[in-house]
């Protein structure tokens, strides 16, 4: 257990997570719905009956506002495919809603905002 007692008993400082990720998804490696890493999910406020357990609870706790699949996977420290399985389960039981990322125009000129890219580059240089 980590100092301060914040991590569950299935986490060890030296070994990491003691429960294998695919145990969490019952060995499933394919979600029942399509999720992109940029798909935004958000809790509906419904309490799931079928999706119980600490991992589902952690995911729901992160989804108070719109959050991406990639962010959730990073916060719960699970592979993206396992995270997608958990999210698909929660969408199926009505506890989450999902919105696919907006389509990008095929015109390269409309996708590139030079001022935005320069601002990002400037911010990165300031941090480094």
Indicate the domain borders of the chain. 1-127
What's the CA dihedral at 15, 16, 19, 20 to 10 degrees?
-100
pLDDT at residue number 64: 93
User: What are the tens digits of pLDDT across the range 32-91?
Assistant: 678 888 999 999 998 877 777 888 889 999 999 999 999 999 998 888 888 898 899 999
Say how far apart CA 122 and CA 47 lie, in whole Å: 44
Is the per-residue pLDDT at 31 higher than 60? yes
Q: Are 90 and 60 in contact (CB under 8 A)?
A: yes
Token pair in block for residue 23 = 């145990």
Cβ 88 vs Cβ 33: under 8 Å:
yes
8 Cβ contact partners less than 8 Å away, ≥ 6 residues apart: 1, 54
**pTM for the full predicted model:** 0.61
- Asked whether residue 25 carries a pLDDT value surpassing 80, the answer given is no
Q: What is the pLDDT of residue 102?
A: 76
């Amino acid at each position: 257990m980590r100092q301060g007692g914040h991590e569950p008993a299935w986490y060890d400082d030296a070994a990491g997570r003691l429960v294998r990720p695919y145990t969490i998804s019952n060995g499933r490696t394919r979600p029942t719905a399509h999720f992109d890493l940029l798909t935004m999910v958000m809790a509906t406020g419904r309490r799931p009956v079928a999706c119980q357990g600490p991992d589902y609870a952690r995911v729901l706790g992160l989804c108070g506002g719109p959050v991406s699949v990639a962010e959730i996977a990073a916060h719960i420290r699970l592979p993206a495919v396992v995270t997608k399985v958990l999210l698909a389960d929660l969408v199926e039981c009505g506890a989450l809603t999902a919105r696919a990322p907006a389509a990008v125009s095929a015109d390269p000129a409309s996708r590139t905002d030079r001022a935005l890219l320069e601002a990002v580059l400037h911010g990165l240089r300031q941090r480094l």
